[in-house]
Structure 1
Amino acid sequence: MNLFDLTFMAMGGIIGAGIFSSVGEGIGVTGRSITLALIVGMVFQMSQQVRYVFTSSMFKVSGGMYSQDALVLTPYLTGVAGLMLFINALNWAVYGISIASYIGDLFPVLKNFPELTAAVALAIFFVIGYIGVSAFTKVLNAFGILKFVALGLFIFYGITKVQAGGFEGEPYFYGGTADFFTAIALMSFACGGATKIMNVQALCENPKRDIPKAWLISQLVVVVIYALLGYVASGVAPYDQVANQNLGAIGGMFMPIAVTGFFVVGGALLSISTSLLSSIPGTPLTVMGMADDGWLPKIFKNRLFVFILLYIINLIPIFLGFSLSELISMLLVPTMIITAIKNYRGMKMPEMYPEEWANCSIKCSIGLFKALLAISIVTSLITSAFSLRNLTMTQAIGTVIMTILVFVYPKIRMGSGKVKIVSTTDMDKEEAAAK
């Protein structure tokens, strides 16, 4: 993979199901300030990912982000981070809820059965993922350009319909500063995804040089697209008509029927589908790998068991009636806490790996590097705190309990003596030694 391949992959990773699912929710939280929330959310995401960018320019490891985490974390914290990867599979429920919303727009009769529609849709994707979809996924990925076209049409048709001065009583910063930061936390879900290129180092021509460049280029391009998208989505109609609506419903207010149909099918549904098909087959392998390392019981080595368990777990928030924003917030709370810990540990990278730091393709002083990671810690904790604020008391208590268990379980597992982690080394060094 060259620089162009990596840049396109990173952009595709960012512009995925999240943006089609959560912008309307964000408008509901902060009104027309969603445009600024998207921009700040992207800045937050970039700060939280900066350690991976530096690590990719220092090391070439086949294990992707998991291996990059292991380079700076203790074995215990490696287990914590791995367990969070398992829990984050709950974000598939977000996609199921979003699919049900868009299908309801196409077939209004199904609007009365959103939970069942979401459950059936997820079941179809889980079956396809279990059977094996390598060829099918490649075909769908070839149509990834459609989501860029769909968003382009949304912006093209809508930008002239925006009421720049606002509608009467139009709420900017709806709910005040606190809700604005809650929207930033929510939008960070839609701004992530560029780190997927960190997992393909072994397939790159020059990963230590090209991955950081692709990461930066993709972020700058997408933040412009997102700013225009938020501007249109929040400004084409009064707040009470666009708040908490999906982009298909908003697009139907100003786009021709045929274009709206293309947007829903070719943009939203295809984007969500490719996101699911690219993650469902691989995540069980990660869970099985954790079982191999001893973090999970032996039964988790059974692929069918893992698929069935993940499907059942994703049904829970769907039938409990969680909204998109609530489910996203519940996942972001522990994820951002762990991100802050990983980036705190990452501050020691120049001292831990002086040779690799000296040869890093990104030239940066140690002081600036640590300052960037300090910023990332602050933004991670802000995201976590305001995500927690978006939950009901019951949901908040459940999220806190889940977060505590994420830290307690690996400690118990290590105490059992069943954990054995295989360390990773720089592939460039392995190749040099072989020669």
Structure 2
Amino acid sequence: MENQKKMSLFDLVFMSIGGIIGAGIFSMVGTGIATTGRSVALALIVGMIFTMSQQIRYIFTASMFQLSGGMYSQNALVLSPFLAGVSAVVTLVSSVSYSVFGISMAQYLGDLFPVLEPYQVPVACLVLIFFFIIASTGAQIFARAINALGILKFIALGLFIIFGFTKVQTGGFEGEPYFINGGVSFLTAVALMSFTCNGATNIINVQAIAENPKKNIPKAFFIASILVAGVYFLLGYVASGVAPYDQVAGQNLGYIAGLVLPGPLAVFFIVGGAMCSLSTALLGGISGMPFMIIGIAEDGWLPKFFTKKFNVVVTLAIISILPIIGGFSLDNIVSMMLVPGMAIGAITNFQAMSMPERFPEEWANSGLKCSPTLYRILMVISIITSLMTSFFSLTSLTLPMAIGTVIATILIFVWTWYRMKKGYVNITSTTDMSEEPVQAK
């Protein structure tokens, strides 16, 4: 490990960009158009600002510590044991988002092979099962091949934007103004589009092999987020401006690419762009998630059953497939996932406001410099955007789904309380890899 080549700032920026531009943008843009029309371009920009504000604590913490358990360890470092447990269980529940990948892959396969169009549900389930099997076998050759093809998604999006600009109706279409469904729908679109803006913080998980991680990881985060925000704005502008609302609302990006690109390039967009991006993101997520779940189980928040990788993989597969069988739409799945995640995020950032005082030495030596006052202002902004995302995600659901989501969120708190009361919990994953073990002050 000592001779392993370290990741440079460029490597981290590229990885961070790749983490953001993944499944979300290829599957959710049509949903954003359906929600707010041509304002989806603005919703993507605001969604990125929201996401950056919600993630800024992770970046500050990464500039202070190198923690073995990634973002879960960061939460455990600043939260009370009970809230750390809630955050941990939310991590398991968030795996429901893999169903978005399966549904999107099935839609794109239906675009390529119309004979599959009537079989979206079984195709989506089979796609997920295939990737869970690949990830669980540790097929590194397959993973490297998919990652090597990751550059194709950037080329595909570039072609989409370049060709699309020549076909955008700058004046819009009759009766289709910006904010087509009103201000509340725009904020709902912002909440949904924030799902497409996540992923920049994946670089936190490679702190051990990064050059000067406490400085380069924050730099990479900001550079990647700003660059992608620009690309997303252009993409949203094109996707919502090449055809009337009723033609593109709710459609995936592959369908819209068919309106923009010549036939062969449209096929390339679906295969080299959408399919490759979805495959890369899905394989990367499935490969890494079991280790985090195992760590959570070893801390006691989940039964010992989850300390075995096979058991974790099977459970994640079941959680991912259930929403597909249940017929949930992409926006419903994303909203149900965002409600508890953003709520606990707001609580975590409130608890983290005391970081400069709790860890004065680490704060002074942080790779990301700012005053404690500015840091707390950023945390307040983060709390507000997190609560807004959670609220508008909840209001976008039907009443039965909203009630079910609230009940599920409450059950997460109840489960965590039960595990603590029974004495199962012993948190061991908050040790700084570059220093002596850190004790909360």
Smaller-chain TM-score range? over 0.9
Query: Closer, same or farther in 2 for the Cα pair 1:73/1:375, shift >3 Å?
Result: same
Q: Are 1:137 and 2:126 counterparts?
A: no
State how far apart, in whole Å, the 2-side matches of 1:297 and 1:429 are.
31
2:362 corresponding residue in structure 1: 356
**Could you give the per-residue CA deviations for residues 367-419 of structure 1, whole angstroms, max 9, x where no partner exists?**
11100100000000000000001101111011001111111111110111111
Q: Are 1:366 and 2:385 counterparts?
A: no
Q: Are 1:3 and 2:6 counterparts?
A: no
1:43 corresponding residue in structure 2: 49
State how far apart, in whole Å, the 2-side matches of 1:376 and 1:133 are.
38
**Aligned match for 2:335, one of 326, 329, 342:** 329
Report deviation, 1:158.
Answer: 0.5
Q: How many residues end up aligned between the 2 structures?
A: 431
Which range moves more in the overlay, 260-269 or 74-83?
74-83
Query: Closer, same or farther in 2 for the Cα pair 1:362/1:286, shift >3 Å?
Result: closer
Q: Are 1:31 and 2:37 counterparts?
A: yes
Report deviation, 1:423.
Answer: 4.5
2:108 corresponding residue in structure 1: 102
Corresponding letter in the other structure for 2:314: I
**Aligned match for 2:281, one of 268, 275, 287:** 275
**Could you give the per-residue CA deviations for residues 335-357 of structure 1, whole angstroms, max 9, x where no partner exists?**
00011011101100001001111
Question: Per the alignment, in what secondary structure is the counterpart of residue 161 of structure 1?
Answer: coil
**Aligned match for 2:208, one of 190, 202, 205:** 202
Matches within 5 A, 1:291-330: 291-330=297-336
Corresponding letter in the other structure for 1:270: C
**Aligned match for 2:402, one of 396, 400, 415:** 396
* Aligned 8 A contact 2:191 2:389 in 1: yes
* Aligned 8 A contact 2:39 2:178 in 1: yes
* Aligned 8 A contact 1:76 1:411 in 2: yes
**Could you give the per-residue CA deviations for residues 102-123 of structure 1, whole angstroms, max 9, x where no partner exists?**
1111111211111111011111
Q: Are 1:128 and 2:134 counterparts?
A: yes
State how far apart, in whole Å, the 2-side matches of 1:313 and 1:355 are.
42
Corresponding letter in the other structure for 2:76: A
Q: Are 1:21 and 2:31 counterparts?
A: no
State how far apart, in whole Å, the 1-side matches of 2:279 and 2:269 are.
14
State how far apart, in whole Å, the 2-side matches of 1:214 and 1:43 are.
16
Which range moves more in the overlay, 166-175 or 43-52?
166-175
State how far apart, in whole Å, the 1-side matches of 2:224 and 2:423 are.
43
Which range moves more in the overlay, 354-363 or 237-246?
354-363
State how far apart, in whole Å, the 1-side matches of 2:147 and 2:344 are.
31
State how far apart, in whole Å, the 1-side matches of 2:246 and 2:186 are.
17
Question: Per the alignment, in what secondary structure is the counterpart of residue 38 of structure 2?
Answer: coil
Structure 1, unmatched stretches of 5+, are none
**Could you give the per-residue CA deviations for residues 186-214 of structure 1, whole angstroms, max 9, x where no partner exists?**
00000010000111111111001100100
**Could you give the per-residue CA deviations for residues 207-230 of structure 1, whole angstroms, max 9, x where no partner exists?**
011001000100111001000000
**Aligned match for 2:383, one of 365, 377, 392:** 377
Question: Per the alignment, in what secondary structure is the counterpart of residue 427 of structure 1?
Answer: coil
Question: Per the alignment, in what secondary structure is the counterpart of residue 287 of structure 2?
Answer: coil
2:18 corresponding residue in structure 1: 12
2:4 corresponding residue in structure 1: none
* Percentage identity across paired residues of the two chains: 58
State how far apart, in whole Å, the 1-side matches of 2:52 and 2:302 are.
32
Report deviation, 1:171.
Answer: 3.7
State how far apart, in whole Å, the 2-side matches of 1:277 and 1:341 are.
30
Q: Are 1:387 and 2:393 counterparts?
A: yes
Which range moves more in the overlay, 312-321 or 23-32?
312-321
**Aligned match for 1:419, one of 418, 422, 425:** 425
* Aligned 8 A contact 1:103 1:110 in 2: yes
CA RMSD between the two structures: 1.2
Q: Are 1:248 and 2:267 counterparts?
A: no
Normalising by structure 1, what TM-score?
0.97
2:189 corresponding residue in structure 1: 183
State how far apart, in whole Å, the 1-side matches of 2:186 and 2:170 are.
20
**Aligned match for 1:221, one of 227, 250, 258:** 227
State how far apart, in whole Å, the 1-side matches of 2:346 and 2:74 are.
15
Corresponding letter in the other structure for 1:259: L
State how far apart, in whole Å, the 1-side matches of 2:8 and 2:414 are.
42
* Aligned 8 A contact 1:11 1:219 in 2: yes
Corresponding letter in the other structure for 2:372: I
* Aligned 8 A contact 1:80 1:406 in 2: yes
State how far apart, in whole Å, the 2-side matches of 1:305 and 1:368 are.
44
Q: Are 1:234 and 2:240 counterparts?
A: yes
State how far apart, in whole Å, the 2-side matches of 1:309 and 1:354 are.
41
Structure 2, unmatched stretches of 5+, are 1-6
* Aligned 8 A contact 1:52 1:68 in 2: yes
Report deviation, 1:301.
Answer: 2.4
**Aligned match for 2:59, one of 36, 53, 61:** 53
1:147 corresponding residue in structure 2: 153
* Aligned 8 A contact 1:133 1:277 in 2: no
* Aligned 8 A contact 2:38 2:240 in 1: yes
